[in-house]
Structure 1
Amino acid sequence: MPQSSDHSAELRAAARHFARRRFLTATGAAAALAFATQLPAAGAAAAARLDGGRVTENPFTLGVASGDPLPGSVLLWTRLAPRPFEPEGGLPAHRVSVQWELSRDERFTRVLRRGRVDAHPEFRHTVHVEVDRLDSDRVFFYRFRVGHWISPVGRTRTAPAPGARNTSLKLAAVSCQAYHDGYFTPYGHLAREDVDVVFHLGDYLYEYPVDAVGGARAYTDRRLPAVFDRETLALEDYRLRYALYKSDPDLRAAHAAHPFVVTWDDHETENNYAGDTSEDDVPPEEFLLRRAAAYRAYWEHQPLRRPQSPTGSDMRLYRRLGFGQLAQFDVLDTRQYRSDQAYGDNWQLPGPESEDPARTMTGAGQERWLLDGWRDSRARWNVLAQQVVLSERRDRVTAGHKLSMDSWDGYPASRQRILAGAEAAGLENLMVLTGDVHVAYAIDVKADFRDPASRTVGTEIVTTSIASGKDGAERPPAHDNLMRSNPHVKWINGRRGYVTVALGEQSARADFRAVPYVTRPGAPVSTVASFVTEAGNPGLRPV
């Protein structure tokens, strides 16, 4: 018999209280490590070196990845973890020398660059290799070696040069991959897609406990260690959770096949946090310690460059990438700098608190950076890669409608400043890539969402989740009400999957790809809807 909601809430509260006590009694050394800068301390850097020949188990269990392609540079990542579900990853606290190679072909008969880098125990033996002075707009293959162990081969690319007259680019957008809600089957299909780059729009992991059978995965042939059956709070918790997620073969395949551009949302740290404000109203100084641990583990386990390495509880994740004359990508962080959600969060009636002009989603510095970058842009398409739904979503047609206080609807003045900045910059082809809501949307961005006849100023492509929300449904429960209440919303689908977007000089096409289930492996993928928007004529048309 299911428990009552009150009893379940009491159990969750008790679990959080126990977890918080565990967090607060963590060692001072662990706290200091969480707030360290990106380089090991002098003493730690001098830690003994472990000879690669003494690594007796495969250290590349978590695969390889690349990210943030630049015109003449690629970023390569891996982590050494022979036993990834153990707190130390199965390696002693020694440096390990890692060899890397970059080749024109996947058989490595034409190796262009090779080198050696130390994997430090302070960063759980993760490595970030930036390879520069490469030809632009080229595909490369890479691999790592420790002793006689050779990693899987990864495929990556450089971006076109800033002035290049490139005429096509195909990207994929993904988000929200709760391990306990199902298999990452969509990633297996994405690994076989012909795309140039993948944008991960947040919720790479979830902080919630994962039981011994993997939640909805319902393992019958294995048991997960008890270390996962608790909320992530301390640095080692987050590191272990990344190891769990990266143990998924479909996720590893997607990373090996394509360069990723990543940004976080909330669950990489804590559900619906805002700046230094925790969902659970813990003191900011306590929450910032947790945030520092989460940010450090995020950087350690993602293919990010040196400018994104954290300093204490801060990490500059927003950044800009260019792909020739065709596209400029502005990657936002809508968590670290935002005002606290109005009216206690969730769906609420809008009012003076949510509509306060001083409220911000991005923080003043990131907002200036974005608008300045748009003013300087000469790209055909300006693509905003970010986390939560930008466009308005009313929950009913009638008066008294509610809006999501966690999305841009809870920050309408901030949204209006962004859209006004796009108009002032003369952007004709604004595209917004969004995740978060576990539902796919195709949306026309309006100059005034209160007036359905107002000018369309851009398009918003919302990708559904990879696994969060379990199998989902083609028509989610709120489908009809949302469609009636928001005429700028052209389409909604609640299955799991991803979206691909092919950018061209004259138009862009979005193909929404979905699987029928994720609670068991092996689901097929299909294109469930396609839309086109013309350059210079914003708005989505079904095809």
Structure 2
Amino acid sequence: MSSDDNKVSRRRFIGAGGVGAAAVMLGTGALGASAAHAYTLRKAGLFTLGVASGDPSPDGFVLWTRLAPEPFAADGKGGMPDRRIRVEYEVARDERFRHVVRRGSAVAAPELGHSVHPEIAGLRPGHEYYYRFRAAGEISPVGRTRTMPPRGSQPRQLNFAVASCQAWQDGFYTAYDHMAEENLDLVVHLGDYIYEYEIAANNRRGVPVPGPQFTTETFDLARYRLQYSLYKAEAPLQKAHAAFPWIHTLDDHEVVNDWADDTVIMGRHPNPDPAAFAQRKTAAFQAFYENLPLRRSQLPAGPDIRLHRRISYGRLADFTMLDTRSHRDIQACSYGNGTGRTKNCDERFDAARTVLGDQQRRWLQDGFRTSRARWHILGNQMPMAETDWDPGPGKDVWVDPWDGYAGERNRVLAAAHDLGVRNLVVISGDRHQNYAVDLKRDYDDPDSPTVASEFVGTSITSGGDGVDVDALGRTFLSANAHMKFYNAQRGYFRVNVDRQRWRTDFRVLPYVQKPGAPISTRASFVVEDRRPGVQEA
């Protein structure tokens, strides 16, 4: 991560969405804990939402926990008083904490939902560490994390998993039990960590919801906090967070379905009042920050948040994380008149239309120009490849993903090709399906070269029990010659990267609407160094 990514501008520091700059800095451990109050725990269980680490660098990472003895309290405060509470942390080389290398304290402030985000630095690159928290005499579960290799090093390999889309009401988080047992260096989560919908009493889990406070849609901060509490109380999710450092971005459901910049044009609340929607985004972004291991550079400033950033794994790989929600133009062609799809839509090819915004696109292209990594990994919320529904000569596509911004997709892929990016691999979520796809410089040109590869990951639970290949999959495989694999089961994908090849294993479960599902590898695909495009392993 660049030094600029660790800095907080004066505008962002002062305009921290009403949170209060002092509360933010206390929660990161950047200021002392003298302002904290003594606290006697009246009920056992401060750490009901687990622990986590994220955004690793060669010398450190950010740690996270949130104090919540009553995580489902209807006011969203987790059963905590309106006081600032001192939280101590330790980082050690061993699980028993015999060799502690860092001790410190941060303040869990009510302004940030009693979450803390201490940023640890000065550690040895490429090493495993253990961490824990203490507050009110209680010790948290132990988490395990890793620093990244030295920036100029040439690591032999990298192992990581990619997840997205985990609607609580659609199934159990069994996939995370399996993920926690994998041999991984890190996890990338590509969005839809929560869904804004109310939790229906007849959800697909077949279990009762914790209370009536979950029967309304999320609009304000208290309700967003509750939704995160419901999701994060799940033991498999806590287990996976405690096992590895995570890298996060968000998609639409952390705010509201299919939002675009300051507008929503589909779903239940199209064309909201701009001021009301800004308030909703402010609440959603604050809850996102409060509940995940994010650095100060991801601190929202009211209805704005910076999520695009680069994280390097030596010179083997660069992770370039994108934000395709906050800066995009409204979806093309009236968004298919309410269907989400459109046929033969010329507007989507307009080169002036953007899904990234001009500033983020320039930043992305600068990274293409300057990266020295062997593998350039683009962390992206939604499929970049064309997914045509029409096996004939026409084009019938969804316009919320990159298909609705084909002009900019062509510009981005052309830039990567022309600038000589060695191996561009895009990882994407959103679709609740698994794909292995070739990325073409221009999908309207039959002779267009393959310039990159893409792996799209299915959901953890969203959509309920999946199937292997459904009718949509048969259509896609028939209409899209560049699509080499399709699957609609639930799970995640696992990646092993070395200096010569990239391997993706699609890890799938036969069901999620009841717990205890086994996991298997449905298919594996590779990308060879300097040979863009996916090949079956």
Instruction: Report what 2:272 is aligned to.
Output: 282
Instruction: Give 3-state SS (helix, strand or coil) of 1:340's partner.
Output: coil
Once structures 1 and 2 are overlaid, which stretch shifts more, 266-275 or 280-289? 280-289
Corresponding position: 1:399 with 2:411: no
Of 40, 52, 59 in structure 1, the residue corresponding to residue 23 of structure 2 is: 40
1:51 counterpart = 2:35: no
1:306 aligned to which of 296, 309, 318: 296
Q: Contact 1:260/1:303 (CA < 8 Å) preserved in 2?
A: yes
Alpha-carbon distance change, 512 to 234 in structure 1, aligned in 2, over 3 angstroms: same
Q: 1:97–1:119: 8 Å Cα contact kept in structure 2? A: yes
1:18 matched residue in structure 2? none
1:344 Cα deviation after fit = 2.4
Equivalent in the alignment of 1:10: none
1:286-435 matched pairs, under 5 angstroms: 286-345=276-335, 346-435=340-429
Q: Deviations over 1:459-494 (max 9, x none)?
A: 101010000000111112211111011000000000
State the 1:211 CA deviation: 2.6
Question: CA offset at residue 111 of structure 1?
Answer: 1.0
In structure 1, what is the Cα distance between the partners aligned to 2:20 and 2:483?
44
* Structure 1 residue 36, shift from structure 2 partner: 4.1
* Aligned equivalent of 1:23: none
Q: Which amino acid aligns with 1:405?
A: V
Q: Which residue of 2 aligns with 1:525?
A: 519
Moved more, 119-128 or 347-356: 347-356
1:121-153 Cα offsets, whole Å, 9 max, x none, are 111100001111111011100000112211111
User: What is the rounded CA distance, in whole Å, between the counterparts of 2:44 and 2:306 in structure 1?
Assistant: 36
The residue type paired with residue 375 of structure 2 is: W
CA deviation after TM superposition for structure 1 residue 33, in Å = 8.9
From 487, 497, 515, the counterpart of 1:493: 487
Name the aligned partner's letter for residue 532 of structure 2: P
- The 1:379/1:223 distance shift into structure 2, 3 A limit, reads closer
Equivalenced residues, count: 509
Give the letter aligned to residue 274 of structure 1: A
Equivalences for 1:132-151 in 2 at 5 Å? Answer: 132-151=121-140
Q: Which shifted more, 451-460 or 307-316? A: 451-460
Helix, strand or coil at the partner of 1:384: strand
Q: Distance in 2 between matches of 1:38 and 1:404?
A: 41
Alpha-carbon distance, 1:35 to partner: 4.4
TM-superposed deviation, 1:400: 3.3
Shift in Å at residue 37 of structure 1? Answer: 5.4
**Structure 2 Cα separation of the partners of residues 489 and 362 of structure 1:** 24
Q: 1:299 to 1:426 in 2, by over 3 A?
A: same
Cα offset, 1:49, TM superposition: 4.3
Asked if the contact 1:37/1:312 (under 8 Å) is kept, the reply is: no
1:128 counterpart = 2:117:
yes
Match for 2:223 among 231, 237, 243? 237
Which residue type is aligned with residue 149 of structure 1? Answer: E
Matched letter for residue 56 of structure 1: K
Aligned position for 1:179: 168
2:71 to 84, 99, 103: 84
Q: Any gaps of 5 or more consecutive residues in structure 1?
A: 1-31
2:205 aligns to what?
A: 217
Contact preservation (8 Å) 2:19, 2:112 = no
Q: CA RMSD in A?
A: 2.0
Q: Measured at CA, do residues 340 and 35 of structure 1 come closer, stay the same or move farther in structure 2, by a change above 3 Å?
A: farther
**Are positions 1:461 and 2:455 aligned together?**
yes
The structural deviation recorded for 1:350 is 3.4
Residues 212, 224 of structure 1: 8 Å contact kept: no
Amino acid at match of 1:372: D
Give the aligned residue type for 1:395: W
Q: Relative to 1, partners in 2 of residues 1:236 and 1:34: Cα closer, same or farther, differing over 3 Å?
A: farther
CA distance in 2, matches of 1:460, 1:77: 31
Q: Work out the CA distance in 2 between the residues paired with 1:273 and 1:54.
A: 41
Q: Does 1:268 align with 2:254?
A: yes
CA contact (8 A) 1:465 1:498 kept: yes
Q: Which residue of 1 aligns with 2:5?
A: none
> Is 1:507–1:532's contact at 8 Å kept on the other side of the alignment?
yes
Q: TM-score, normalised by structure 1?
A: 0.91
CA contact (8 A) 1:79 1:301 kept: yes
Between the aligned partners of 2:70 and 2:216, the Cα distance in structure 1 is: 20
Q: Which residue of structure 1 lines up, in the alignment, with residue 509 of structure 2? A: 515
Residue type of the alignment partner of 2:403: D
Residue matched to 2:465: 471
CA deviations on 1:350-389 (whole Å, 9 max, x unpaired) are 3232222211010001001110011000100000001011
TM-score (norm 2): 0.92
Counterpart contact for 2:410–2:442, Cα < 8 Å: no
CA change 1:355–1:223 in 2 (3 A) is closer
Q: CA deviation at 1:496?
A: 0.3
Distance 2:289 2:209 in 1: 28
Q: 2: distance between equivalents of 1:48 and 1:72?
A: 28
Q: 1:63 to 1:397 in 2, by over 3 A?
A: same
Shift of 1:498: 0.2
Q: Which amino acid aligns with 1:245?
A: Y
1:158 maps to what in 2? 147
The corresponding residue for 1:24 is none
Which residue does the alignment assign to 2:239?
A: 253
Which residue of 2 is the match for residue 3 of structure 1? Answer: none
**Uncovered stretches (5+) of structure 2, i.e. residues with no partner:** 1-14
- Quote the Cα distance in structure 2 between the aligned partners of 1:386 and 1:206: 18
- Whole-angstrom CA distance in 2 between matches of 1:391 and 1:286: 34
Name the structure 1 match of 2:51: 64
